[in-house]
Every structure is written in C-alpha cells, then in structure tokens.
Structure 1
C-alpha cells in the first residue's frame, strides 16, 4: 500500500512538471512577437550605446574632430596640460579608458594637442605666468566645452572634475586674483540651449572680477591707489580742511 502511494505521488509530480512546461511553452508562443520586439529594442539600444562609447573612447586631436552635440551639451573632457602659450592652454585629450575597447581607438603615436582658451577671460602677462606656476607639465585638467572658433576651444577649465562647474575653475581664479579681465564668451552652435548656462557663466565671471577690483588685486592695484589719491586730494582741498589749516597756522 505505501509503495502505491509513492508511485502515485511521483506520477503526480511528473505530471505537474509537464503541465508547467506546457504552460510556459504556450506563453512563449503567445508572446513571441513581443519577445522579438524586446530583443530588437535591446539590440538597437546596444548599438547606440556602443556608438556613443566609441565617441567617448576616441582621442580628439583637433577641435574640428569634436562632435557638435558635445559642444551643444557642454560635455566635459579630460586632458593633460602640454604647454601654456599666449593663445591659451595646449591640452592633450585623454579619453575614457576601457581595457578591451580603448586599444582599438588609440594609437601610441597620437600626441597632437588641443588649443583650449579660458572662456570669458582676457589674460594679462601676469596671468599667463600664474598659469605656468600653477599648472605643472602633464597635469590632468577637465575642460567643459562652451564653443568652438576655428581651431580654438573656448572652455571652462578646472583641476578637479567634482567642482568643475564653478568653484575651482581657472577662469574664475585668474579673475579673482586680478590677473585677467572679463571678455565676451563666443556662443556655441545652439544659442537657445546655451543661453541660461552662458548667463550663469557671465554672472560668475563678473562677480570674480568685481571682487578683485574691490580688493585692489593684480591689475586693479594701480586703479585703487589712483582713486585713493584723488579722494585724498579732494578732501585735502575741501573748505573745511582749509579753514582748519589756517587756524593752526595762526596759532
């Protein structure tokens, strides 16, 4: 009797598994089109992701090689400082590195540098000297693309990606130290999408310049002294002080 109960339980389990397989097969058949569509969608997404990754893995050696959408979206790129010149920073682009894919898009002999200009900044000779002293050779910097003008990239440059937006940008530092003046920022290919960003950038750069002027730093030192000289002269020649001087002379 117990043996027959065991056989019945085993047959029931087998039948249950067969029913489950049948149900799953039927479900797959009923939704075959949906599964195919999902597979196709995943394949397309994979292709798009790979194509995007290829761009991120590509080493840009000239401003013209950078896609327009990178500039429209103000993409941040990483680079290695090669030199500081009168025209700006010469930066060698250092793309994202992936062990398998990166060697396919990188050639060892590729060493051409990009010409990066500090956007919204007109550097003085003292400003270039300051950059030479504070940017060591081969130092890694991040440059946020703002616009492209011929072979020059106008960027917001920082030594730290985490605070790339504003706090430690070299653009603001040279202005706050009085080592540069503010200058117009050339607009990118899509002015409408950049208008808010450019407005914020102008505001921050202007604030840094005003701070240097108020504190009499850098190029504003002479102006502050000359202003104080004019004020002193006006006060000294005022009627009240003249009267006081006459009184002291009589005594």
Structure 2
C-alpha cells in the first residue's frame, strides 16, 4: 500500500530533497510551505499552524503514515523561535491524530548539531515550559544584539526541540501508540540557508572551524533526506526519542567521551 507522508518546509533545502526522494519511491507526499506547496501555511502563527493541520487533514482524507517536521529558520529573530520550536511542536501534535490509523506510523523532526552549541538558558526555559509569549519576548530582546545574544536564538530553539522529542517519545501518546518519534541533527548542509556562509573557500573554512566535519565536509541535502526517509519508513520499528547527528563527525569532535 502506498504511504502518505507530510513534509513541512517542502519548497526548498532538506524539505524539498526529502519530498522528492519519497516521491521517487512511490509515496504520496503532502508538502507544506509558505509557497510552492500543496498546503500553504505560515508556521510562525497559531492561525497558520491550524491552517496547516486543516489543509493536511483535507488532502489526506484524515490519515497519514509519516510526518516530517523539517521547516526551520536560522535568523537571529523571534520568527526562528516561532517556527523551529512552536511550529514543529504544533506540526507533530496537530498531525499525530492522523497517524493513528496507519499500520506503521512514524514522526521525525529536524533539529541541528547547533543544539550542542551554547544557548540562552532563559529562552530554553521558556520553550521547555511551552510559553510562547515569554519565549518570543525573550527572543525580541536577544535580537537587538544580533552578533552576540541573537546568535543564540537558533541554537536555543534546536536544543529545546531536541529536549521535547526526548521527553515526548517514550510517552503513551507516542511510544504507547506505536509511533516512533525521533529527531536528526544535521551539520552544515548546502542549502539556501547556508549559501552565503559557504560561498567562498575562506568562508567555508572559517565555518568548519566552528562546526568541524572531518567526514567529507559540508553535506548535500540529499544525504539528510535519506536518513529522514529511513526514520519515517516501515523498517524503523524501535528507535525512540533519539537525536541522530548527521554532521560529518561534529558531535564526536565536540562532545567526545563526555556523553558516557
């Protein structure tokens, strides 16, 4: 039977690569994005998130097999918090009921190896509490210093969504409903989001000093798509609450033995 999957952020980057890969395997994919998608929705707002759920429900007939929460921003701005954390959580929670009729339901969210970088603890705490007003307010303050505090908005949003996955995956709502919920943490991926950062060899070398990727350097979006497709596929029966770093070795370099 053909699987039906939902991919947010499907118009570009990792989301587009994932959509194209799944479709090449014969899956039906419902893409969600601000434009150029089956469902047009702005995940920075509650209204947009509700519209996303309604649109997917209508197009899918109320049943999907996999949800890939890929949409994300990297700007030093409150919108990054709104999409990367609250948009992702709304996607996963809002579409979870549509997974319940699937014989092999799966859910995956894209975090980042930036979750291993320094974060703003007040922002992470607000995200952990699910307090969007407080989180956006804190991000507004941070955004006023884009080269210092503002740079922590992205890593903080990714740290928080990784923690959300770890907390939620083993619960009755997910594992108890036979839905593997996991995340991936990409390193530097060649997408529009990183194009300027890797536009010259000098810039790329400087970025790789901060984000070491000893295995093959900067990755293409297709490499990440293949990992996502496996996590959202029928063969993934027992991964639960994992954040898998597809980062060319950044996690191993940065954290080493400290995780044990």
Task: Report the TM-score range of the alignment, normalised by the length of the smaller protein.
Answer: under 0.3
Relative to its length, the structure with more helix (as a share) is: 1
Normalised to the residue count of structure 1, the TM-score between the two structures is: 0.24
In our comparison, the structure showing a higher alpha carbon Rg is 1
Structure having greater relative contact order (Cα 8 Å, sep ≥ 6): 2
